[in-house]
Amino acid sequence: MNCTDHDEVALRSRKVALRRQLTAQRLKTNDIERSDWGKSLRDAVLSLPEIQMAGTVAAYVSVGTEPQTRGLIYALWKRGTYVLLPLLLDDFDLDWASYEGPESLAPGPRGLLQPTEPGRGVHAVTSADLVIVPALAVDRAGRRLGRGGGSYDRALARVGAAVPTVALIYDHELLDEVPCGRRDQPVRMVARPGHGITRLR
C-alpha cells in the first residue's frame, strides 16, 4: 500500500472533507434499507471460507448509520465462533472482550455498545483468525477511511499480515482512492450489500 501524502495538514483536510461527504450520504439511508443491507452483509461474510474456518473473530457493534453488524455477530456466536468485541479506551486504543449474547452488551463511551465481559487487553486482537472492521470508505488498494480516532489503525497494526481483514461498507463506498497517511493500515477485503465480498490488492 503506497501512502504518498506526507503533508499532514493537507492529508487531514482531505480526510475531513471526504468523511463529511460520506457521512451525509449515510444520513440519507433509512432503517429498512439498513436492515436489508445488514442481512446481505451478514450472509456475504458468513459465506467466506476464511470465516468458516475461524475459531476466533474480532468484530464490532454497529451504531447509527453504520452497516449493521448485530445479526452477523449473533450468527457467529450461535455457530460456536469465539467473538471478540472492542472496548474503547480513554486514549482511543481498543481493548477487547468476549461477546456472550445480545444481553452481554451495554452502553459505552461515545454512544457505542460494548461487551460487559472483562477486557483481555489491547493485544487480544492478535488471537483472531479474521478481523471485521468499520469504515466510511475503502479503495481498491485496501486503503481505509475511518472516523479519525486512529483506533482501528492501532488494532490492525497488531494483526499479523496473514490474518484476513474485512471492512463493511455500502455499495458506493468502494472508491478509486482514499487519502492515506503513514500510520493508516489497509484491509484485505470489503463486504458490500449489493456486491458481496471484494478482495483487494
* Per-residue pLDDT reduced to its tens digit, 61-96: 999 999 999 999 999 999 999 999 999 999 999 999
Rounded Cα distance, 144 and 146, in Å:
6
Distance between CA atoms of residues 122 and 156, nearest Å: 11
What stretches of the chain show up as alpha helix (H) in DSSP? 8-27, 31-46, 49-52, 70-78, 151-158
| 3-state SS track over 1-47 | CCCCCCCHHHHHHHHHHHHHHHHHHHHCCCHHHHHHHHHHHHHHHHC
**What pLDDT does 4 receive?**
56
Closest by CA position to 84, among listed 107, 45, 117, 112? 117
Q: What is the DSSP secondary structure assignment for residue 163, as one 8-state letter?
A: S
pTM: 0.93
pLDDT of residue 148 exceeding 90: no
Domains in the chain, CATH or no CATH each = 8-195 (3.40.50.10420)
Q: What average pLDDT does this structure show over 98-104?
A: 95
Q: Which three cell numbers stand for residue 135?
A: 469504515
In degrees and rounded to multiples of 5, residue 115 shows phi and psi of -70, 150
- pLDDT tens digits, 17-75: 999 999 999 999 999 999 999 999 999 999 999 999 999 999 999 999 999 999 999 99
Reduced to 3 states (helix: H, G, I; strand: E, B; else coil), residue 121 is coil
Report the Cα 114 to chain-centroid distance in Å.
Answer: 14
- What count of Cα atoms within 13 Å lies in the side-chain half-sphere of residue 140? 3
Kindly state the percentage of the chain with pLDDT values over 70.
97
Q: What is the mean pLDDT of the chain?
A: 94
Instruction: Enter the DSSP assignment of 127.
Output: G
